[in-house]
Structure 1
């Protein structure tokens, strides 16, 4: 079915940019790239995330605070601060926007080397643009949907980026297995991750936050890292 193909493509392309650009580049500086390629990645985020577009600067800042305060009251997105994933999604949204507009401050050490394209974010990161994207999604569903139940996926399409973040940050601190004993509740969701671009290895990532490859054991496979290796060989990025 055409609409399901669209949903799958949307899921993986959106998650690619959130995993590789927002998470590994913006938050952790695991590789470098030229300003030209950085701007292209910004555009890729905008095209694939659409109505759920998030600022690389603010995402990187929020994720650094997550590592600094994991599972504590100051953690901007911890399942231990909210009773269910929907409330955690709302809390994350509020913490994100408070950081984005400067209502919530952060120490300068968390802001170091964050990518920032303020002029672009003013265009991409506003409610008018988000509603335009929602209109585009409704039009796509009108073209491709062949049954009423397929429209049930529309809300997930609209909040795709937030949904992906919640899927990892909620479940990876609730359920899964541990390769490393930590002072936090981080877990690996899947032993072989073909769904979350390698972000399912959350326990591994909390143990080695500055390691480009989230996989640790022989059966674990980090799709995001393998993509980075290809981009490195193509000289698009340079893995540190």
Structure 2
């Protein structure tokens, strides 16, 4: 039981900071916050993504490309030009590393307006850091796993961030229903998206990319949005007004 709780905690905490900080703040600026909270969320993203920490700058560049070139050959992670989800992850990794290591300069439209923290970026990208996190996950399983099959969950811990991205970009552009014609293949995979905390409302999000609430119809629910509303009321963040 403890192992499953640990897995779910890692899954949802890592996912929350990916959708709330990397996606909705760094990539889209759906809300404003002060420097203290920005650094706090940055650090939490590093801690909870752990061995699979995703650099915010590289993430933002790729995500902005994804919106600009959705489901075309220039989209960095469209499932419609790749045969399987593993291939999608590998293509995304290669492009991500080009931007993370400054080997490729993004187009002007995708530059700037993202926070950076050189110390965390450098430490989070070091192999020793990733291995320390991985060793921590393994140690926890060795101490508390009661069945052998539980160890099969470890690879998900190691690659938590990329796994979340692969699920969203594969399923969210292949399976589900559409509320809008966005001239791409974006779909809403789940009407109550507890699995990916709202990220599987891809069709809605591509229609209104700057709207913090990914749910648009009465039966849809984006679990991240009420948390953001609460933070807004507590003056931790200030949500951006959208039409």
Short-chain TM bin? over 0.9
Alignment partner of 1:49 is 2:37? no
Q: Residue in 2 aligned with 1:73? A: 73
Q: Distance in 2 between matches of 1:97 and 1:107?
A: 16
Cα deviation, residue 177, structure 1: 0.4
Unaligned ranges ≥5, structure 1: none
Q: Distance in 1 between matches of 2:91 and 2:159?
A: 15
Q: Work out whether residues 61 and 114 of structure 1, in 8 Å CA contact, stay in contact via their aligned partners in 2.
A: no
Q: CA RMSD in A?
A: 0.9
Q: TM-score scaled to structure 2, two decimals?
A: 0.97
- What are the superposed Cα offsets for residues 67-97 of structure 1, whole Å, 9 maximum, x if unpaired? 0111112111111121000110011111111
- Which residues in structure 2 correspond to 1:86-125 (within 5 Å)? 86-125=86-125
| Secondary structure of the corresponding residue to residue 221 of structure 1 | coil
| Secondary structure of the corresponding residue to residue 70 of structure 2 | coil
Q: Residue in 1 aligned with 2:203? A: 203
| Secondary structure of the corresponding residue to residue 204 of structure 1 | helix
| Secondary structure of the corresponding residue to residue 187 of structure 2 | coil
| Secondary structure of the corresponding residue to residue 41 of structure 1 | helix
- What are the superposed Cα offsets for residues 80-134 of structure 1, whole Å, 9 maximum, x if unpaired? 1210001100111111111111222212221231111122211112211111111
Q: Residue in 1 aligned with 2:16? A: 16
Q: Residue in 1 aligned with 2:38? A: 38
Question: How many residues are paired up?
Answer: 240
Q: Distance in 1 between matches of 2:63 and 2:135?
A: 30
